[in-house]
Amino acid sequence: MLNLKPQTRFLLRGSALLIGMLSLWWFALLTPLLYGLEGAGAIAGGIVFGGRSGELIRENPDGSWTFHVPLEMTLEAGPARPVAQQLHSIDFDMPRTDVITFTFSLPVLWAILLAAPDLRRNLRPLAIGTALMAAAEIALLLVFAQIEAHKAARQFAGTEAGGFEQWVVSFADYLVVTVLPYALPFVIAFAVHRDLRWHVFQWGLGEASPAEPPSAPAAPLKKARRRAKQG
Contact 22, 107 (CB under 8 A): yes
pLDDT of residue 117: 81
Closest CA to 148 of 85, 96, 94: 94
Contact 16, 26 (CB under 8 A): no
Q: What is the pLDDT of residues 25-63, one digit of tens each?
A: 999 999 999 999 999 999 998 888 876 656 789 999 999
pLDDT of residue 5: 78
Torsional sign, CA 10, 12, 13, 14? positive
pLDDT of residue 86: 74
Reply yes or no on whether the pLDDT at 230 is more than 60: no
> What is the number of other CB atoms lying within 10 angstroms of the CB of residue 129?
23
pLDDT of residue 188: 97
Q: What is the pLDDT of residues 84-123, one digit of tens each?
A: 677 778 889 999 999 999 999 999 999 999 998 877 888 9
Name every residue whose Cβ is closer than 8 Å to that of residue 160 and which is 6 or more positions away in sequence: 154, 166
Q: What is the pTM of this model?
A: 0.80
pLDDT of residue 224: 46
* Bridge partners for 59 per DSSP: 65
Reply yes or no on whether the pLDDT at 1 is more than 70: no
Mean local confidence (pLDDT), 183-189: 96
pLDDT of residue 223: 52
The domain ranges of the chain are 6-230
Contact 102, 37 (CB under 8 A): yes
Distance CA 107, CA 23 (A): 9
